[in-house]
Amino acid sequence: MIKDIVFGIAVFVFCAILLAFGNARADEPLRFDAIQPVYKIQSGAISCSAVAIETPGVVETILLTAAHCIDKSKEGGRVADADNFITEFKVLKISNNTDLAAIIVPDKNFQPKKALIAQTLIAEEGDDVVVVGYPYGLSRITTKGQLGRKITTMTPLNNVEDFMLASPNLDVGNSGGGLFQKNGDHWELIGIASMKGPANFTNFFTTLSNIHKFVG
């Protein structure tokens, strides 16, 4: 009797492991697609994340990050990829009314994968989204969660701004990282990480509409 119970538990655990492995493998291309365009940046003493974006007609690499990630006393900083290739960036543009900034990497040896900015917000409240960033300036982390609602509140720079809420956790260093929605077989950028909230669905991301206005 005991042997049967032990055998049954072992079979259950084995099947659970196979199922989890199968789900991870099936989801791997989508997660990898979302992970690739996100990089670590250092501006003065501030360590954050940034997303390389598609910019037709522009030779240099442009990345989006959060405005509060930029030390305004500096003209630039450093960017590093997951393989620890480090190069310099220059500040291209900082928004006056949203928590967004753009940086540019002149080094042509820096050849990152680039994120596609979504044309429209397909994801609805409760749908799965992915957040990618470098919490505490360490390893690149991908976190799945659900999209919340849009609210208006104060930014880290004391501006009033629309934000999209989402459940994936944010920590120091995640700011400037990307919020991605699934569209068919790929992930699209729909937000930039701005602020950590006190509970689930209260982590704040710059809205897609504000990204479109900023990128112009």
For 147, the enclosing helix (H) or strand (E) is strand 141-154
Q: Which residue has the tokens 């991908």?
A: 142
pLDDT band per the 50, 70, 90 thresholds, residue 204: very high
pLDDT band per the 50, 70, 90 thresholds, residue 9: very low
Q: How far apart are CA 86 and CA 80, in angstroms?
A: 4
Burial class of residue 77, CB neighbours in 10 A (0-12, 13-18, 19+) = buried
Query: Quick check: 157 and 132 in contact, CB under 8 A?
Result: no
pTM over 0.95, yes/no: no
Q: How far apart are CA 156 and CA 174, in angstroms?
A: 14
Enumerate domains of the chain plus CATH numbers: 38-105 (2.40.10.10), 117-215 (2.40.10.10)
Q: How far apart are CA 61 and CA 131, in angstroms?
A: 21
